Amino acid sequence: MAEGFANHHGRGKVIAASAGTRPANSVNLQAIEVMKERDIDISYHKPDLLTLAHLEDADIIISMGCGVQESCPVSLVDCEDWGLEDPYGHSDDKYREIRDKIEERVKELVRSIS
């Protein structure tokens, strides 16, 4: 969701890429649906494994806070942790709540680099 919002709100200003320490095989259907409500299509996104190349290429690294502490040595990189709850396995309303928090944070980020 963050990648979708960043590329939407930061069009022409940022290029966002998402990767995880334990990526799923596909984007979660609930995430796709709640993003459609914002007219953003993330159905074509493919979860990607976080690599050293991602870390080296990035100007800013942000963790959503979904358990990354247990699976990635984030202390080795300069990473901003947004501390958001992982909505996986929860209701559509929880996905919307997290989606809205992500959107606000992304908008703040885009404003700060503009």
Quick check: 10 and 108 in contact, CB under 8 A? no
> What tokens were used for 86?
């992982």
User: What does the pLDDT look like over 50-93, one tens digit per residue?
Assistant: 898 988 899 888 988 765 555 555 555 678 889 899 999 999 99
Half-sphere exposure for 48 (CA within 13 Å, toward CB): 14
Is residue 114 over pLDDT 80? no
Alpha carbon distance 6, 18 (integer Å): 10
pLDDT value, residue 70: 56
pLDDT value, residue 79: 81
pLDDT value, residue 9: 95
Is residue 27 over pLDDT 90? yes
Alpha carbon distance 96, 87 (integer Å): 9
